Amino acid sequence: MSAEKIIGDWKKKNFKPVYWLEGEEPYFIDKVIHYAENNILTESEAGFNLTIFYGRDAEWASVVNACMRYPMFSENQVVLLKEAQHLKDIEKLESYIEKPLASTVFVVGYKDKKIDGRSKLAKTIKQKYEYFNSEKIKEWKLNEWVMEMINSLGFTINEMALRLLVEHIGNDLSRIENEIVKLSLNLKERKNITENDIENFVGISKEYNVFELQDALAKKDLPKAIRIIQYFQANPKAAPIQFVLPTLYNYFSKVYSIFDMPDKSEKAVSELFYRNFFAARQALLTYKIYGFAEIEKILLLLHHYNLKSVGVNDTGTADAELMKEMAIKIINL
């Protein structure tokens, strides 16, 4: 069962008495609950038949009592239990869930973790009702997921723009969705999202970001690397060192892997980058510019400067100065 399937059933007026939504990814849980709150009932029906509880403030008995009421002027009532992971004695809901009222649509959002699968409550839910485990999007599927969302709104996005958007924001799905909606509103009649749009409307510089720094280091372009680091120094939120160093380490680790690959074609290398051919081409260029020993030394340098950035063997050197020093050492290998 997926969030889309649950919402799709609701659009067809197919309701089950209990929906249990849990897991580490809040985005899909919020999406289902938002639909239940705003779309299952009409505005006039919701006034009498929509009840919302928050786990931290609710009592389990009050939730059960609400679920046991019959709807007024509607075929169904909706009871939402948000942040259910904070509800005390949550296992006592089992008495209602064992025999729920058919006219009640009871939706539970249990975030960040899972209910004990050995409990009677969990077994009852999984055997009889709709259970949804909201999992984090895997890193290798994130580009595809973002592309599908953009396409569903009737837009396209070029490779560089997608890279900037996804790799800068990461797997914060709610923020990605907000930025895509903002982009769609600003593009007006145009349907293709470019890196200029990402810069203008999301606020990620296409010239001065960690991926351009990565590219400068990969090509041994010291003047460009220093310019980018100076931009970071003037704009501390653009790319903090705690974001820059892991990103660079991840990239050079993948370049390091190329040396052991029997097939060093662009297609084969793209698998290291989740089938991103742009990144594969850049990695192959880096592989040719630096040798095996140099890439190994780069990884050691990145580890060394990561320790210095958190105060190990360092007396408080500014982040920008650490990055400049590191860039010079990498490019001079």
pLDDT per residue over 254-289, tens digit each? 999 999 999 999 999 988 887 788 888 889 999 999
Of the pLDDT bands very low, low, confident and very high (cuts 50, 70, 90), residue 297 is: very high
pLDDT per residue over 138-197, tens digit each? 877 888 899 999 999 899 998 888 988 887 787 889 999 999 999 999 988 899 999 999
pLDDT score for 121? 86
Cβ-proximal residues to 99 (8 Å cutoff; 6+ apart), any chain: none
Look up tokens 């007026």; give the residue. 13
Beta-strand relationship, 18-23 and 130-133: parallel
pLDDT score for 189? 85
Looking at the DSSP bridge assignments, the partners of residue 79 are: 51, 106
- Amino acid (one-letter) located at 166: V
pLDDT score for 105? 97
HEC string of the chain equals CCHHHHHHHHHCCCCCCEEEEEECCHHHHHHHHHHHHHHCCCHHHHHHHEEEEECCCCCHHHHHHHHHCCCCCCCCEEEEEECHHHCCCHHHHHHHHHCCCCCEEEEEEEECCCCCCCCHHHHHHHHHCEEEECCCCCHHHHHHHHHHHHHHCCCEECHHHHHHHHHHHCCCHHHHHHHHHHHHHHHCCCCEECHHHHHHHHCCCCCCCHHHHHHHHHCCCHHHHHHHHHHHHHCCCCCCHHHHHHHHHHHHHHHHHHCCCCCCCHHHHHHHHCCCHHHHHHHHHHHHHCCHHHHHHHHHHHHHHHHHHCCCCCCCCCHHHHHHHHHHHHHCC
Spatial separation of the C-alpha atoms in residues 282 and 187, rounded to whole Å: 30
**Cβ atoms within 10 A of the Cβ of 70, count?**
10
In this predicted model, which residue has the larger pLDDT, 221 or 167? 221
Instruction: Identify whether the C-beta of residue 276 lies closer than 8 Å to the C-beta of residue 205.
Output: no
pLDDT per residue over 128-141, tens digit each? 889 999 999 887 78
pLDDT score for 13? 94
Instruction: Identify whether the C-beta of residue 40 lies closer than 8 Å to the C-beta of residue 12.
Output: no
